[in-house]
Amino acid sequence: MERIRIVGGAPLNGTIPISGAKNATLPLMIASLLTDETLVLENVPHLADVALLKRILGNHGVDCMIQGKRAGQNGATAETIELSAGEIVDTVAPYELVSKMRASFWVIGPLLARMGEARVSLPGGCAIGTRPVDLFIMALRELGAEIDIDGGYVVARAPKGLRGGRIVFPKVTVGATHVAMMAAVLARGETVIENAAREPEVVDLADCLIKMGARVSGAGTTTIRVTGVDRLTGARHAVMPDRIETGTYAFAVAMAGGDVLLEGASSATLERPLELLAEVGAEVTTTNEGIRIRRNGSGLHAVDVSTEPFPGFPTDLQAQLMALVCHAKGSSHIRETIFENRFMHVQELARLGADIHLDGQMATVNGVARLKGAEVMATDLRASMSLVIAGLAAEGETIVNRVYHLDRGFERIEQKLGDCGATVERLAG
């Protein structure tokens, strides 16, 4: 099993190009199931989760072409992919595939909307909480679907098609908002989605659906309105820059010190994280080229923060922030409000010398003067990058095991960090 080796102590200087957003790419790819014409997506990151979703969509009959070649034939750089679901050959999403990535469960919405039926395995993914599918089921039932659970599968039927309805989510849910939008675009009549997720990735999906002929308004607010149409067409759409990757590398620069331009990054999707970076002690400048992060070696300051739905501080940056404030003067307090089991990185950061105490969903991080390299284990996608960030500032060598977690959501990390002066390399298992 591959590992990442990091030798800490070097500042980061240079440019890091920001990839297309993983959290936007996956629902955009799934939206290809809604039309028999070709959906072209630009700026698609080369990630393990993207490759897995290609396999899952292929199981349903989606033909995936990459820059004129068949899937899997090009290198580890941003791709332009063509997704053609001319004929849906199977409405079953099997356990062996869906169990590996939670977002693949979202195919249930487009399959049900277009084909009137879907049988989708209950999902898997990172072990960061139960993340039940009850809100997905509730939303689809409000659109007229008949749903049963049978042998670990969600079986959904709408033989006469879906119909518009009023969906009121009891709590903000990004995944179910994606699915509700995709299902509603082919439903008869108007659908109103209330307490909808406001995340930029929801807006990106809505923008793509509109290009495909959907009638969607209100994306980015708490109320989304969808008026169903008979069919959608093909379209061309560029995936938005990855705000989580942007925040991750911004924290890395603040941790290691230096001066880095995050090329292509958008500050509009990262207001709260960038505010926190300034509070911690980094200098943040927005330019026409992206976001520039600088820290000249001065001390870091402790902060208090709670994870929240957008526009609050994202849960997907919680672990990375925790790594950063391990070096801050004083005590930081980080409350996790989205997932109930997203502190598994704490014990691994402790192996590097971090002083962190947990009380339920609150972590108190007492800053230490030095971290020391050690062998650590990545427990999930975002936690794995917290260990990389800590390793950049730790004395000596840090080995991060289970690098496959990194490959699920971060493109070419060794090259991106290495080009800025870090000693980061991949080791064979």
Side-chain half-sphere of 346: how many Cα atoms within 13 Å? 18
Catalytic residue among 126, 208, 326, 420: 126
Residue 126 has pLDDT above 50, yes or no: no
How many angstroms separate the CA atoms of 111 and 120, rounded?
A: 10
Q: What is the mean pLDDT of residues 386-405?
A: 95
Could you give the maximum distance between any two Cα atoms of the chain, in Å? 65
Percent of the chain with pLDDT over 70: 95
Judge whether 131 is annotated as a binding position. Answer: yes
Helix or strand holding residue 148 (H, E) = strand 146-150
| Kind plus residue range of the DSSP H or E element containing 302 | none
CB burial of 278-306 (b: ≥16 within 10 Å; e: otherwise) equals: eebbbebeeeeebbbbbbeeeebbbbebb
Q: Which of 429, 39, 23 is nearest to 232 (CA)?
A: 39
- Distance (Å, whole) CA 312 – CA 306: 8
Q: Is 134 annotated as a binding residue?
A: yes
Instruction: Tell me whether residue 420 is one of the annotated catalytic residues.
Output: no
Provide the pLDDT confidence category of residue 128 given band limits of 50, 70 and 90: very low
CATH number of 3-19+241-427: 3.65.10.10
Fold of the domain built from segment(s) 22-238: UDP-n-acetylglucosamine1-carboxyvinyl-transferase; Chain (3.65.10)
Strands 63-66 and 69-70: antiparallel
Q: Directed axis angle between helix 22-30 and helix 243-256, to 10°?
A: 170
Query: Could you tell me the pLDDT band of residue 69, with boundaries at 50, 70 and 90?
Result: low
Tell me: is residue 90 an annotated ligand-binding position: no
Prediction pTM value:
0.94
Q: Does 132 appear as a known binding residue? A: yes
Query: What's the N-to-C CA distance of the chain in angstroms?
Result: 4
Boundaries of CATH 3.65.10.10 in the chain? 3-19+241-427, 22-238
For the residues 339-349, what does the mean pLDDT come to? 86
The SS3 assignment for 251 reads: helix
pLDDT score of 406 more than 70 = yes
311 upstream amide cis, omega within 30 of 0: yes
Q: What is the pLDDT of residue 129?
A: 42
316 is in an annotated binding site: yes
